[in-house]
């Protein structure tokens, strides 16, 4: 059901919101920022591990995520005439230093699963000639491997399967909640814009009429002593 709803959501976005090249470029910028953010979190996890093999695997994983961020940066230019702007925001660790490393990997695993599903749905819905489609298909191939990789790493760290499943559920709920907050903020911003536009268009005829009457007199009253009085 979740996958079906995601496909429907993607098709709705492509047929409405993404019809604008500027909005599609903005979405690509978001994808790029997410991949770059994943690199940072993998490096944070790498620093917490004393296992040389695990560190090497996480570093290789981070290089592939960095390549995905660069791929989105390249395809961004297909929809705009400029380089992709940097996303400036503060990052926070997923968990504190006293929390098991495997929980961070569980969070990464859920993110890789969601990215794979969403990117595949978008690629399937895009026209064959769309530049973004080719980029997404390449990235999906890597992400599928990352899903298997993070599952293997969780087993390597000895994470209890039952706790891993509970962590997956907690992470998914947290991600849905954050997505809901973002969508709610977007809806509020849109509503505020519409209300301000309505007020502007309602008041514009009145303000235009007042301004026209003022200009019709061809006489503007101005107090030359006003500035002097203000400075006293």
pLDDT digits (tens, 9 = 90+) for 14-50: 666 677 788 888 889 988 988 988 888 888 888 888 8
Q: How far apart are CA 40 and CA 25, in angstroms?
A: 23
Residue 210 has pLDDT above 90, yes or no: no
Q: How far apart are CA 127 and CA 206, in angstroms?
A: 48
Q: What is the mean pLDDT of the chain?
A: 79
CB half-sphere exposure, 79, CA atoms < 13 A: 21
pLDDT given for residue 136 in this prediction: 93
> Which pairs from 172-180 meet CB under 8 Å and 24+ separation?
172/110, 175/110, 175/111, 175/114
The stretch 40-64 carries a mean pLDDT of 90
> C-alpha angle 97/101/6, rounded to 5°?
115
pLDDT-derived band at 149, boundaries 50, 70, 90: very high
Estimate the crossing angle of helix 2-15 against helix 101-125, to 10 degrees.
50
Does domain 2-159 fall into CATH 1.20.1260?
yes
In order, the DSSP letters of 142-211 are HHHHHHHHHHHHHHHTT--HHHHHHHHHHHHHHHHHHHHHHHHHHHHHHHHHHHHHHHHHHHHHHHHHHH
Residue 181 has pLDDT above 70, yes or no: no
């Amino acid at each position: 059901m979740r996958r079906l709803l995601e496909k429907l959501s993607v098709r709705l976005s492509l047929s409405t919101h993404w019809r604008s090249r500027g909005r599609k470029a903005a979405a690509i910028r978001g994808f790029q920022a997410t991949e770059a953010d994943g690199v940072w979190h993998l490096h944070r996890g790498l620093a917490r591990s004393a296992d040389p093999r695990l560190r090497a695997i996480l570093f290789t994983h981070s290089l592939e995520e960095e390549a995905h961020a660069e791929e989105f940066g390249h395809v961004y230019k297909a929809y705009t005439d400029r380089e992709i702007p940097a996303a400036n925001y503060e990052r926070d660790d997923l968990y504190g230093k006293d929390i098991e490393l495997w929980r961070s990997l569980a969070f990464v695993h859920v993110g890789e699963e969601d990215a794979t599903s969403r990117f595949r749905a978008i690629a399937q819905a895009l026209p064959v000639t769309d530049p973004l489609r080719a980029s997404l298909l390449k990235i999906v191939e890597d992400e599928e491997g990352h899903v298997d990789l993070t599952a293997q790493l969780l087993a390597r760290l000895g994470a209890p399967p039952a706790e891993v499943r509970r962590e997956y559920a907690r992470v998914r709920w947290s991600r849905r909640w954050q997505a809901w907050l973002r969508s709610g903020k977007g809806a509020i911003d849109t509503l505020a814009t519409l209300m301000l536009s309505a007020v502007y268009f309602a008041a514009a005829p009145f303000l235009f009429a007042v301004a026209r009457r003022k200009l019709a007199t061809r006489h503007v009253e101005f107090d030359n002593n006003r500035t002097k009085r203000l400075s006293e």
